[in-house]
Amino acid sequence: MEERFETLMKRVVEAYTKTEQLAGFSGYQVEFGEGSYAYTIFAKDAATYYQLPRTAQVLTEAFSEEETEKIFAEWRACIRDYEYSNWTFRPDLSHVAAPQTPE
């Protein structure tokens, strides 16, 4: 299964390269448990994130709609579970509670 998944990811990278688009994600292989992959998308704000090209658009431009559907069908066959998180980095630490001073 892992080999199939890696082959699919190579096709995705090929599509981004062929269309000269910047990939809006980074991928990592987690090395504990059964092993899994994590993908992160970085953007300075929500507007920038929503302007990033969607993978389906890039695949269709690089290959064809039919090939894109095949890639996604194969991808779904490789995925057992997924989790989505939306985190916002705050360099000013505004999300951290103020320290409590003892009375």
From start to end of the chain, where are the E strands? 26-30, 36-40
How far apart, in whole angstroms, are the C-alpha atoms of residue 56 and residue 67?
Answer: 10
Judged against a pLDDT cut of 90, whether residue 18 lies above it is answered with yes
Average pLDDT rounded to a whole number, residues 40-57: 81
Confidence band (pLDDT; 50, 70, 90) for 66?
A: very high
pTM: 0.65
